[in-house]
Amino acid sequence: MNARQVAVKVISEIERSGSYSNILSDKTIKDAELSKADAALASMLVYGVLQRKITLDHVLEKAAGKNFKKTHPFVLAVLRVAAYQLLFMDKIPPSAAVNEAVKIVKASKQRFAQGFVNAVLRKLNTEKDSFLKAISECDDLGVKYSCTNEFAQGLIADYGKETAEGFLQASLEAPKLYCRVNSFSAKDNLFDRLTEKGITVAEADIDGAFSMQGAGSVEGLTEFKNGEFFVQDLASQKAIAAFGIEAGMSVLDVCAAPGGKSFTAAQYCGENGKLVSCDLYEQRAGLIKAGAERLNIKNLQAMQNDATVFNSNFGTFDRVLCDVPCSGFGVIRRKPEIKYKSLSEFDDLPEIQLQILETSVKYLNPKGQIMYSTCTVRQAENRKVIDAFLKKHADFEIVSEKTLMPQNDGTDGFYFCILSQSI
């Protein structure tokens, strides 16, 4: 299969089964044994279509007319891939986008639809400027930014229209890949060695954090395999940096998988510190352990544990991290399928989040601090959970609080609140 065929296959399967885009896309691209350039194109097409799905369908319906509603799911996937190229990828020749789409349909069981596909895409290309103008001026935020109107209105209620639109616009942009130097294994001249491989490296505003461009699959780099760095978004690094973890401290991470925050916290508490890193599932705890071994982190103990249930064997800690399960709406640049979910799917989360926070404070030293964090921007899962906690625990107070937004901070959407007992 070529890049476009792979993209169509992935998008069709996601629509059919609800699979996660990152997992399915990576596997399908790997199985197709595409070249580096084609793998990059396939990935770009998959994520581009998922980011703009509602917008693309709106435009395609305008171009196709009444017949659009009857479009077969496979043909629709082909149309979406081609429409994304025509509208949002300036470096792709329109003829290539149209002709390849027709070829894919012609070689399928839906070959009778090739004339329909050809006509719709040619109309779309001819009237491209007017379609793009209509999108940019559209009052319907769901169409303009390709999300559910329920999600858009929820953001407006939480933050106001300007901030909500800023977040939605930023969610359509490709996120940077951020990493962290591993102080336990890093060798001299890491950035120079990466640069020599054609990778663009730029230091971030947090000590040890940097961005990478042009690396392809990070897992294939020798420096990654040797544990000299690990992948972690800047938002998480900023949160841990703000937590005031010092050398020799004891730290508990109650919901740690896949382990990035634990690995960063381990650097701050140092070789003489102690870090217990937990997850609900044994297999995911095993992933944390494997990651720590690759990174030569010896002060970390990974184990299975239910964060909602108090574990009397743990003792107490100087710092407790509660990065709770959440809706994930802060990472829709990376997992765009999340933004099409109904908010009702997450109605039970705040109760679980509060339960984890209330359980976790029992592990805290009297002078210690606890951090509550999520990778969502919904106030229902953020400040409202903190308000519910403080209402029941008057002996606690907020030390600091921050909502990170991609349009302001260049990070994923992220929330953290640090709490301590009142003195």
Catalytic residues: 375
Cα–Cα distance between 77 and 105 in angstroms, integer? 10
125: its two tokens: 């290309």
Residue type, 325: P
For residue 93, what is the DSSP state? -
H/E stretch holding 322 reads: strand 317-323
Cα–Cα distance between 36 and 10 in angstroms, integer? 18
CB distance 150 to 346 below 8 Å: no
116: its two tokens: 């329909």
Cα–Cα distance between 48 and 103 in angstroms, integer? 21
CA atoms within 13 A on the CB side of 162: 1
250: its two tokens: 């004891």
Nearest to 415 by CA among 252, 269, 238, 231: 238
DSSP H helical ranges for 107-171: 114-126, 128-136, 141-145, 149-159, 161-170
SS3 of residue 277 by DSSP: strand
Cα–Cα distance between 160 and 153 in angstroms, integer? 9
Task: Report the alpha-carbon angle 107-111-114, nearest 5.
Answer: 105
Nearest to 207 by CA among 246, 234, 175: 234
CB distance 201 to 185 below 8 Å: no
Residue type, 171: S
Q: Tell me how crowded residue 183 is: count the other CB atoms within 10 A of its CB.
A: 18
Nearest to 98 by CA among 77, 124, 134: 124
